[in-house]
Amino acid sequence: MATRIERLRAALPALSVDSFLIQAPSNQRYLVGASVLAGDGYVLVTPKRVVFITDARYQTELQTTVPQVELVITRNYLQAVNDVLQADQATVLGFEDTLSWREFSWLDENLLADPVPLTGVVDQLRQVKDSSEIAALRHATALTSQGLEALFKVLRPQMTERAAALWLTRWMQDHGAIGESFATIVASGARSAWPHAQASDHPLEQNALVTIDCGFYVDGYTSDVTRTVALGDPGPALTAAYRAVQTAQEKIKAAVKPGVTGAELDQIGREYLTQAGYGQAFIHGTGHGIGLDIHEGPNIGAGWPDKLVANQVITVEPGAYFPQQGGIRIEDDLLVTPSGHEELTSVPRELIIL
């Protein structure tokens, strides 16, 4: 099996470049080892070698964790890039178009090789997970499922959203998570109609919905799971909406397999919710990829024609939101398999009334 560096090198000729500069921390970790912590500097891939250009703060750590990677220790990172390219006789440098204007300006004015901005080169490679990545994602999603079920046992009226979020974070860290991939969302009552509400000191209310959306790093890779539960009876209108969102998610997941596009999956859920009378309440996309970052390709939403392939890991998260009343979102993580998919999250999906 080709290594990640070999896969990157194989992609370069079609892009008309012979070397590539990586600045994004997640892409650096992907290429030279998941144990590398984000820091200053660049990973430079030339036809002859792979070089991590950074400063002395990271030298001992990198020599310990990725001893196979050549280091250039300096404070003048971009000049070192130029020096390595000259030594390796590289002539065209591709670089991530997320580079800052200051960095691009230096390359444009000083680089002896021709600099070419490119979009999503390493990100595209990262969409298809290898066996070690899938194992890490299995671990992350399984642990997050356990953490949410543990949280459900302690949720109660008058507990604040913030207290619930902190309880879950502590439980996850006590059981092996490295930390959050985003601030855990706990949104209750009318605030559950805010898809990205930040956990607040608002107390959980009796007979109200509570949406918990969380992602935790385990073995360097993140989960992303959402459940909406009720503290008592939320009433017939919100209960009916929950069942519609649950059915929409089931229909979307049933269609997940290689060859289906993100747009097609989005359409399945959106059409069902529209027929059920909730189309205007579904106000965001259907899902996205996860891995080293909480949001990666592929995108699951209208306008995304790329077809799923085996060994991608995606979320499926339809929702419905009703201002001043409440909101519902159910999110699971799925591994695309050669013949279909495998659900990685195991938290119950029916409406849980606590």
Assign 319 to helix, strand or coil: strand
**What are the pLDDT digits (tens) for 95-110?**
999 999 999 999 999 9
Identify which has the larger pLDDT, 65 or 46: 46
**What are the pLDDT digits (tens) for 82-140?**
999 999 999 999 999 999 999 999 999 999 999 999 999 999 999 999 999 999 999 99
For residue 46, pLDDT over 90 is answered with yes
pLDDT of residue 37: 58
| Separation between Cα atoms, residue 156 and residue 100, nearest integer Å | 47
Least confident of 46-60, 310-324, 332-346: 46-60
The mean pLDDT of 59-79, rounded to a whole number, is 92
Q: Are 77 and 5 in contact (CB under 8 A)?
A: no
| Separation between Cα atoms, residue 113 and residue 85, nearest integer Å | 7
Strand 179-180 versus strand 70-73 pairing type: unpaired
Task: State percent of the chain over pLDDT 70.
Answer: 98
| Separation between Cα atoms, residue 124 and residue 231, nearest integer Å | 42
pLDDT of residue 33: 82
pLDDT of residue 38: 56
Domain span including residue 83: 4-126
10: alpha, beta or left? (left if phi > 0; alpha if psi -120 to 50): alpha
What confidence tier does 2 reach under pLDDT thresholds 50, 70, 90?
low
For residue 201, pLDDT over 60 is answered with yes
Q: Are residues 63 and 136 in the same domain?
A: no
pLDDT of residue 107: 93
The DSSP code sequence of 31-88 is HH-TTPPP-SSEEEE-SS-EEEEE-GGGHHHHHHH-TTSEEEE-S-HHHHHHHHHHHT
Phi, psi of 262 (to 5 degrees): -60, -35
For residue 280, pLDDT over 80 is answered with yes
Contacts of 87 (CB under 8 A, 6+ apart): none
For residue 34, pLDDT over 60 is answered with no
pLDDT of residue 40: 82
Q: Are residues 293 and 189 in the same domain?
A: yes
**What are the pLDDT digits (tens) for 209-228?**
999 999 999 999 999 999 99
Q: Are residues 261 and 292 in the same domain?
A: yes
- Hey, CA dihedral for 111, 126, 266, 260, is it positive or negative? positive
CA–centroid distance for 305 within its chain: 19
Q: Are residues 120 and 77 in the same domain?
A: yes
Q: Are residues 108 and 136 in the same domain?
A: no
For residue 35, pLDDT over 70 is answered with no
Least confident of 32-46, 167-181, 333-347: 32-46
| Separation between Cα atoms, residue 296 and residue 304, nearest integer Å | 13
Last residue of a domain, one of 66, 96, 126: 126
Q: Are 3 and 130 in contact (CB under 8 A)?
A: no
pLDDT of residue 39: 62
The distance in angstroms from the start CA to the end CA of the chain is 48
What confidence tier does 36 reach under pLDDT thresholds 50, 70, 90?
low
| Separation between Cα atoms, residue 221 and residue 25, nearest integer Å | 14
Assign 185 to helix, strand or coil: strand
Residue 333's domain is classified under what CATH number?
3.90.230.10
Strand 92-96 versus strand 114-118 pairing type: parallel
Q: Are residues 156 and 44 in the same domain?
A: no
pTM of the model: 0.94
Structural domains in the chain (count)? 2
Q: Are residues 213 and 139 in the same domain?
A: yes
Q: Are residues 178 and 74 in the same domain?
A: no
Q: Are residues 212 and 328 in the same domain?
A: yes
| Separation between Cα atoms, residue 206 and residue 353, nearest integer Å | 11
Identify which has the larger pLDDT, 262 or 36: 262
Last residue of a domain, one of 126, 146, 168: 126
| Bond prior to 298 in cis (omega within 30° of 0) | yes
Q: Are residues 107 and 200 in the same domain?
A: no
| Separation between Cα atoms, residue 95 and residue 119, nearest integer Å | 8
- Hey, CA dihedral for 266, 268, 274, 278, is it positive or negative? negative
**What are the pLDDT digits (tens) for 156-185?**
999 999 999 999 999 999 999 999 999 999
Last residue of a domain, one of 105, 126, 147: 126
Question: At what angle are helices 161-174 and 131-152 packed, to 10 degrees?
Answer: 130
Show the tokens assigned to 72. Answer: 């250039």
